[in-house]
Structure 1
């Protein structure tokens, strides 16, 4: 299995949604296509189970959050992949700690971060009901996440 897929907790979900994949990751996409079906738009999958959303603008996160309303079931694996602060090729108007508020309405919380390459970091968002222990003291996005911190 491709090392990146392994880091991203891929477990045979199909299809894999790759939204706005940058050109330098074309080889990664080719590998994924040997393992499962790949789609490139939320319009192509009713209930995504495994997705990588490459985003560089806050508006993209907000648009994706709106498009996902009512479409998440089970313990979906959603990764928001954004430029590292040190990237020389890409810039964005948010960071690891800011810009994710619109995902709170989906009951999503950030649970893990991995490096994709020298330019991109991936932040996993998970539905609160599937998080056993929420340990962060700040940056909770959803009301359910805030309640979970209290208990």
Structure 2
């Protein structure tokens, strides 16, 4: 596991607006300290720089991702956080299926991180051009 906090690994910068969707209990504490001026939102009607969504399955991914894409600032990022294959929780999604679906709606996967023993996250950005 990385020496960096989750907030650092998510590339949260000073003054970023961060939208968290469906985080597990205790996750805010687990994230670590945020940079100066960064704020966590549980709902947003404005554009945000960082979105982290926790999804359990493909149906949830397909419900959440198009809606969240509309809230993403032009140079922002969406972290789709999903159960690892080694997790005790079974799921029908993985890095490849998330990336394929994301690409079909104008997003592309650019990086991955491990959140903890149960969760991985795939960073998506808007496809330019």
Q: Calculate the TM-score normalised by the size of structure 1.
A: 0.70
Matched, 1:114 2:116: no
Note the C-alpha offset of 1:73: 3.3
Equivalent residue number for residue 123 of structure 1:
122
Equivalent residue number for residue 17 of structure 2:
15
CA distance in 2, matches of 1:111, 1:12: 22
Q: Calculate the TM-score normalised by the size of structure 2.
A: 0.80
Aligned residues: 126
More displaced 10-residue stretch of structure 1: 110-119 or 63-72: 63-72
Task: Check the 8 A contact 2:77/2:125 in 1, yes or no.
Answer: yes
List alignment gaps of at least 5 residues for structure 2.
none
List alignment gaps of at least 5 residues for structure 1.
130-143, 145-151
CA distance in 2, matches of 1:4, 1:91: 23
Equivalent residue number for residue 97 of structure 1:
96
Q: Which has a greater percent of helix? A: 1
Equivalent residue number for residue 49 of structure 2:
49
Q: Which residue, 26, 30, 33 being the options, matches 1:28?
A: 30
Note the C-alpha offset of 1:34: 7.8
Task: Check the 8 A contact 2:12/2:35 in 1, yes or no.
Answer: no
3-state SS of paired residue (2:74):
coil
Note the C-alpha offset of 1:65: 2.5
More displaced 10-residue stretch of structure 1: 113-122 or 45-54: 45-54
Q: Which has a greater percent of strand? A: 2
